[in-house]
Amino acid sequence: MTETAFPLKLRTRPECKADGEALEGELIAALGSDRLTLLNPKASHGEDVLHAVGGMVWEFEATSPRDVALLIQAMASVPDGHRMVQTLDEAENFTGDAFEDEAERAKRILALLGDGEENALQTYLIYCSPDEEPDLT
């Protein structure tokens, strides 16, 4: 496996506007206000409802495996935060789909977490599964 180069950008899609705002509050408290960005703050004409119920895309700058772990734990602490965990991916691979290519996406996220973030890894595996379970021993 290749070593991940940090910093890197991760993207996620909340299930609704309130979930995104809750995530923002969690991360601002933990890491400050400059790490999480709403990429599409305005809805396209006529798409206000779709934007508010799952059309927002958030980008997070991770500087270490610890940041990835904090992001996963923050998403999991949001009521209904499972969709954010399920759609989390590296920016260049992000589709916003929670189920398509789930195993490949899970492998990428688990690689970013590395070996030292057991709690975040366990939390992630509640919502997302690679083809085979990682060895946690």
Q: Global pTM?
A: 0.86
3-class SS of residue 25? helix
pLDDT in tens, 89-123: 999 999 999 889 999 999 999 999 988 899 999 99
Neighbours of 82 (CB within 10 A): 17
